[in-house]
Amino acid sequence: MTAAEAPAGARLVVTGAAGFLGARVMAAARRAGFDALGVVRDCELGEAATGDGIEVLDWTDEQARRRLFERAAATVIVHCAGHNGRFGGAPDAAVLQAANVELTGALLDTVAALRSRPSAVGSHRAVGSGPAVVVLSSASVYGLQPPVPTPEAAPLAPVGAYAASKLAAEEVCRAAASCGLHVVIGRPFNVIGPGEPPGSVTATLTSQALLAPRGGRAAVRLRETVSVRDFVDADDVAEALVALGCAGETGAAYNICSGRGVSVAELVRRASTVWQREFDLSVAEPQAAGTVSIGDPAALLALGWRARRTLDDSLAAIAAQAEGPVVP
């Protein structure tokens, strides 16, 4: 079995299954041969959450959590539910604590309670073994000036409430792993793809550039263009999370990244070519020093995962969702 292949009869449960990454994890799990079940909260319901294989869960109801996860008899759980920080409206620390830390703790408490007794539905797993739980963290835990490229062993120096909430969630995971749960942490770098939440540099560029028709000119205003980012396609991230559920080491964190750095200026140039538009670019902070964020993917590569989609692939997919296929 490779890192991206499900054992026979395996089920993968995705929390936050209606979200930007959660919906893609559902698709990636099915491609890998899993029977996939999505879990959403009432506040997450929408077109992406309709159809078979989706269940609504009140996370505050402990008994409801136990019933759902016991019935699911999951081999792997990928925990994408949470709040994406400034991309979701810059919530305060209390909101982030509840969404990113307490929700993770509730899930792991439920898994711990269920692994100590046999499943009522006859899971193929050994009693007490429990599922692998993959928790979505963020490269933001490394802070603003990490070593380049950044390995998983780099110092963790989160800046801001969102990054701090992700580090706190990781600490909950490590505590659960020390108690015998099979918990793995995924740290995506700059995720890119259609439907990306507002607030990122790519989403900001998209919202302005695609207002113009192909062959036209678009006025684009960005804060700065000198920062360097490690862009990784959302579908590649989803496949990485599934791979971690199959082969990730208990208690370990894994960078999900390409290992390649692209400046914001280069992103703009590539988008102009792929999207077939000219940009009239203005920069709000031309003197900005910028930051560099490039991950080291060696640990994940060792599990057999590869980032298969290029930046141009991601940009073409963004345009295709908005207006139909674009040939780079």
pLDDT digits (tens, 9 = 90+) for 203-259: 999 999 999 999 999 999 999 999 999 999 999 999 999 999 999 999 999 999 999
Percent of the chain residues past pLDDT 90, beyond the cut: 78
Secondary structure (DSSP) of 81-138: -S--GGGGT---HHHHIIIIIIHHHHHHHHHHHHHTS--TT--SSPTTT--EEEEE--
- Quick one: tokens of 73? 């008899």
Torsion from C-alpha of 244, 247, 248, 250, nearest 10 degrees: 130
- Domain annotation for the chain: domains and CATH numbers: 11-193+231-258+294-308 (3.40.50.720)
Q: Is the confidence at residue 5, as pLDDT, over 90?
A: no
Of 77-86, 124-133, 138-147, the one with minimum mean pLDDT is: 124-133
Q: Report pLDDT for 52.
A: 66
DSSP annotation of 1: -
CA distance from start to end of the chain: 36
Residue with tokens 């992103």: 267
Reduced to 3 states (helix: H, G, I; strand: E, B; else coil), residue 19 is: coil
- Quick one: tokens of 185? 């942490």
Q: Report pLDDT for 60.
A: 92
Of 4-8, 27-31, 159-163, the one with minimum mean pLDDT is: 4-8
Q: Is the confidence at residue 192, as pLDDT, over 50?
A: yes
Q: Report pLDDT for 326.
A: 55
pLDDT digits (tens, 9 = 90+) for 257-274: 999 999 999 999 999 999
Q: Is the confidence at residue 124, as pLDDT, over 50?
A: no
Percent of the chain residues past pLDDT 70, beyond the cut: 88
Q: Is the confidence at residue 175, as pLDDT, over 70?
A: yes
Q: Report pLDDT for 121.
A: 33
Bigger pLDDT: 295 vs 84: 295
Q: Report pLDDT for 2.
A: 44
Bigger pLDDT: 198 vs 239: 239
Q: Is the confidence at residue 127, as pLDDT, over 60?
A: no
Q: Is the confidence at residue 120, as pLDDT, over 50?
A: no
238 touches 27 (CB < 8 A): yes
pLDDT digits (tens, 9 = 90+) for 34-77: 999 999 987 766 544 555 689 999 999 999 999 999 999 999 99
3-state helix, strand, coil in the chain (%, to 5): 40, 20, 45
pLDDT digits (tens, 9 = 90+) for 73-113: 999 999 999 987 765 556 788 889 998 999 999 999 999 99
Q: Is the confidence at residue 6, as pLDDT, over 90?
A: no
Residue with tokens 């490394």: 142
The pTM of this model reads: 0.91
194 touches 324 (CB < 8 A): no
Q: Report pLDDT for 328.
A: 54
Cα-flanking dihedrals φ and ψ of residue 182, to 5°?
-90, 90
Average predicted confidence (pLDDT) for the chain: 89
